[in-house]
Amino acid sequence: MEAKRNPSVVIIGAGMTGILMTIKLREAGITDITLLEKSDRIGGTWRENTYPGVACDVPSHMYTYSFEPNPEWSNVFARGHEIQQYFQKVADKYGVSEKVRLNEAVISSVYKDGKWTVKTSKGDTIVADFVVSATGILHHPAKPDIPGIDTYAGTMFHTAEWDHSIDLRGKRIGVIGTGSTAAQVIPELVDMGAEVSVFQRTPQWIFKIPDGLYSEKMKERFRQNPNMMNRRRVWFTRSLEHIFTKAVIGRKVQRKIMEWGCKLNLRFSVKDPELRNKLTPDYQVGCKRLIINNTFYKAIQKPNAHLITEGIERIDETGIHTKDGQHHELDVIVLSTGFDPTAYMRPMNLVGKEDLNIDDAWRHKVRAYRSLMVPNYPNFFLMLGPNTPIGNFSVIAMSEVQSQYIIKLINRWRENLFDEVEATETAVDRFMAYIKAGLSSTVWVGGCKSWYLDADGDPILWPYTWGKWVKEMAEPNLADLSTRRVVAAPAIAAETQPMARGKKRKETVTAE
């Protein structure tokens, strides 16, 4: 029997997905792995986001690798520093930490003749069979384009670039934005005694789920009985799948439950009718990412919190001018304005076949087959790409499903069935039409602006159930893929047609 080939794989990014992919490739027997990380530590978004109050909005026992439960969570919703510690612990346990190359960003990845040539910020060049982009979706902070923003003379920073050297107690702080991050950080600023002005462009729907503490006694029970943790994980997963996920894709009963929960939370949490009216969205619940939070409504009603809804006109050296003619003098401006969710691996220079740059490939639309594969970029996989189910669900679960899909394709390469694999343009067109057909009944087309929308206003989410996504990702549909043999001399390489499902192709390559 012919021995399996051992491919060389470059993984870009040592956050949650990069750590996972390294572990899973090793489990599959693949040992030639290079893991590159642009920063000085692993952890991805949980390394970057250290703002006061940072926490996950997915229950902690659901936000873990399925193979590595964690009995040490302190809260139902894990705090950011504990999540970072968890990923570091997993990376140490599985030998990822000793292999990752820190402070080494990828400058370019160029494909030619069956190989990727990856160049790094340290001047190194790596030649690999496969490239996996595990750069995530929340690593390019979005800065608002407000007139005069560059003239501000005070302290200004994005929540993902928190300046911990500044003592914020007693300061006049302006927070621009009211999304999930703002809902977490605003109560912390209010509670430390700052005068906090919240500049709200659009109010948000907030769903309240109790965020209890796990006692030491409960943690010990988890340590002694891992099945108990697993049952909790399954319970949270099914609850989110059958209520939140189904609500946002258009299931009427679940949508009503979610709407009822949000509206009652607002009604009973905010006593002042005028303030409550300002905090009431005019769009469907779930159109924007639903905020899971228990502290924002209480904080915004305190005397040192001020909700400003008149709209920002411009910024000057000392503060913010709103459209009602008021000038708000501020010592600090905090930009809680989210991220660019479609930047993905950029600003890396990604070049596929025939010198096709990713900026040109995506000039009109960011598209990928099964959220993973881009035509003309063979042996390249984009983790958590467009139309990954995101929503209010665990991205760890999504990455685990995608990692198994990738490994099944790489294993076919190892069995010498092909040298190159990529999605066909026809398959991408069909997949995008399938996505579009499902979007019409979702809440994401409910008349709001959100980071879920691409430049054309189309949601970049999965419009069907989580179970359907898992089922459809269980096995690669080889009829949607184009494979190719690569020989030493490019002039005699044999081009193939898309492979039919379940059939092996016979090829004849004539060498001189």
Measured N-to-C along each axis, helices 16-27 and 395-414 cross at an angle, to the nearest 10 degrees, of: 40
Residue 498 has pLDDT above 70, yes or no: no
Sequence-ordered list of residues with C-beta below 8 angstroms from that of 217, at least 6 positions apart, any chain: none
CA distance 137 to 150: 26
Which residues are 141's β-sheet partners?
A: 339
DSSP-assigned states of every residue in 434-467: HHHHHHTTSGGGSS---TTB-TTS-B-S--S-HH
Residues 114 and 18 in one domain: yes
With beta carbons less than 8 A apart as the criterion, state whether 358 and 346 touch. yes
Q: What is the pLDDT of residue 2?
A: 66
Residues 358 and 482 in one domain: yes
Domain enclosing residue 228, as ranges: 149-335
Can you give the CATH number for the domain in which 115 is found? Answer: 3.50.50.60
Residue type, position 102, single letter: L
User: Looking at residues 337-363, what average pLDDT do you find?
Assistant: 93
Look at residue 200 and tell me if it is in a domain. yes
Look at residue 80 and tell me if it is in a domain. no
Look at residue 65 and tell me if it is in a domain. no
Local confidence band at 241 (pLDDT 50, 70, 90 cut-offs): confident
Residues 19 and 115 in one domain: yes
Out of 335, 353, 383, a domain closes at 335
Out of 303, 319, 335, a domain closes at 335
Neighbouring CB atoms inside 10 A of 503's CB total: 9
Kindly give the residue spans of alpha helices, DSSP state H, lying in 375-424: 395-414
User: Looking at residues 6-24, what average pLDDT do you find?
Assistant: 98
Mean residue pLDDT across the chain? 92
Q: What is the pLDDT of residue 457?
A: 84
Look at residue 183 and tell me if it is in a domain. yes
Residue 32 has pLDDT above 80, yes or no: yes
Residues 203 and 273 in one domain: yes
CA distance 249 to 241: 11
Query: For 162-171, 296-305, 495-504, which range has the lowest pLDDT when averaged over its residues?
Result: 495-504
Residues 134 and 201 in one domain: no
Look at residue 67 and tell me if it is in a domain. no
Q: What is the pLDDT of residue 503?
A: 39
Local confidence band at 433 (pLDDT 50, 70, 90 cut-offs): very high
User: Looking at residues 178-202, what average pLDDT do you find?
Assistant: 97
Residues 346 and 455 in one domain: yes
User: Looking at residues 22-38, what average pLDDT do you find?
Assistant: 97
Residues 322 and 349 in one domain: no
Out of 335, 350, 382, a domain closes at 335
Sign of the CA dihedral 231, 233, 238, 244?
Answer: positive
Residues 297 and 235 in one domain: yes
Q: How many domains does the chain have?
A: 2
CA distance 191 to 177: 18
Look at residue 86 and tell me if it is in a domain. no
Residues 157 and 279 in one domain: yes
CA distance 285 to 32: 47
Residues 329 and 439 in one domain: no
Strands (E), 260-310: 291-292, 305-308
Neighbouring CB atoms inside 10 A of 331's CB total: 17
Helix (H) or strand (E) holding 34: strand 32-36
With beta carbons less than 8 A apart as the criterion, state whether 314 and 207 touch. no
Look at residue 3 and tell me if it is in a domain. no
CA distance 403 to 25: 9
Q: For residue 450, give the nearest of 157, 175, 203, 80 by alpha carbon.
A: 203
CA distance 279 to 302: 15
Residue type, position 197, single letter: S
CA distance 83 to 37: 18
Q: What is the pLDDT of residue 182?
A: 97
Local confidence band at 491 (pLDDT 50, 70, 90 cut-offs): very low
- Let me know the angle formed at the C-alpha of 342 by 473 and 280, rounded to the nearest 5 degrees: 100
Q: What is the pLDDT of residue 393?
A: 87
Strands (E), 172-232: 172-176, 195-199, 206-207
Q: How many CA atoms, within 13 angstroms, populate the side-chain half-sphere of residue 17?
A: 27
Local confidence band at 414 (pLDDT 50, 70, 90 cut-offs): very high
pLDDT in tens, 270-287: 999 999 999 999 999 999
Residues 416 and 373 in one domain: yes
Look at residue 87 and tell me if it is in a domain. no
Query: For 132-146, 319-333, 497-511, which range has the lowest pLDDT when averaged over its residues?
Result: 497-511
Sign of the CA dihedral 133, 418, 403, 389?
Answer: positive
With beta carbons less than 8 A apart as the criterion, state whether 349 and 105 touch. no
User: Looking at residues 372-387, what average pLDDT do you find?
Assistant: 96
pLDDT in tens, 462-482: 999 999 999 999 999 999 999
Residues 260 and 125 in one domain: no
Is this structure's pTM higher than 0.85? yes
Measured N-to-C along each axis, helices 16-27 and 80-93 cross at an angle, to the nearest 10 degrees, of: 20
Residue 375 has pLDDT above 70, yes or no: yes
CA distance 85 to 36: 20
